[in-house]
Amino acid sequence: MDLPVMPPVKPMLAKSVARIPEGMQYEAKWDGFRCIVFRDGAEVELGSRTGKPLTRYFPELVAALRANLPERCVVDGEIVIAYDGRLDFDRLTERIHPAASRVNLLAEQTPASFVAFDLLALGDTDLRAAPLTERRAALADALGPAGPPVHLAPATTDAALAQEWFDRYEGAGLDGVVAKPLHLPYRPDARVMFKIKHERTADTVVAGYRFHKSGPVLGSLLLGLYDARGALQHVGVCAAFPMKRRAELVEELEPLRLDDVADHPWAAWTDDSAHEAARLPGAPSRWSGKKDLSWVPLRPERVVEVAYDHMEGDRFRHTAQFRRWRPDRTPDSCTYAQLEEVPRYDLAEVLGG
């Protein structure tokens, strides 16, 4: 493979905002695996958000991309699976499987699609420094002849239409709307776009769990986010699982279990003074009383997406709700930077109303 932009490349990212900004290009926010496709003739490589290849997991897409993309190009987009008229992320995650026979079976039963929304290179030309308007025009031209399962993502500069998409497309399983500055160059691994979602969610690191009060089944997952210093901070818990699922989770997480907390980022959790410098599980609380705050340490390697209502300081105000596992994310990508910064509002305005 010999392209002007070579793998691996980390995709350009978005940060959460409360509402749709004016004067930008708007696209639907797809609920799938972010993927940068590299094609050089017969060679096709699918790069994940982390830069690791996804190629072996989507053999049906490799053939489709070879048939529908320009001979030599680098395209940013999303791998999705549609089921029963809407996007299905759970079926998508099933494709990340070590057995080739299983992958091939699922490729036939629940084939994936690719939705293209940016063009990084075409032929011998590196387009990353070009403004979004030029890249979008070139992408639309390049994908003119393309057909399913390769799609050009709909885009508009009409904010009112984008709001309609935001309101209407949720029923199809889409996450919301992405807004992109018109003159923005392609900036890998930078949060320079904007996303407007239907609920606040965060990708968090599972770093431990507590047992349920009823017995040796999981009570809650302990969640962490990395701060600007690279320290893993305890931000809250995720609970409310069915009892059968609680027992299954203990078994599923057993390979990550640490026998000694000394090897864990939260090793100092029993030291009261340590809680003054960092957020750790088991922090003294007037609400916990004599509640058992002991926990089972896990190697911080799994990522889970949770929904939350709002933050209180640097933690979730209430118990977060499980949304899905994120095998496409790495723990070190789970930082505070992804969290929506809620616009401040004067309490006097509320009381005065």
Q: Taking a C-beta distance cutoff of 8 angstroms, is the pair 14, 118 a contact?
A: no
Count of CB atoms within 10 A of residue 7's CB? 16
User: Which residue out of 29, 180, 195, 197 is catalytically annotated?
Assistant: 29
**∠ CA 48-53-58, rounded to 5°:** 90
Which residues on adjacent β-strands are paired with residue 306? 202, 322
Query: What are the φ/ψ torsions at residue 135 (nearest 5 degrees)?
Result: -65, -40
C-alpha distances in angstroms, 85 versus 109, 154, 173, 339?
15, 18, 9, 30
Catalytic, 29? Answer: yes
**Which residues are 152's β-sheet partners?**
116
Q: What letters, b where the CB count within 10 A reaches 16 and e where it falls short, cover 300-320?
A: bebbbbbbbeebeeebbeeeb
CA 184, 339, 167, 147 dihedral sign is: positive
For the annotated catalytic residues, the residue numbers are 29
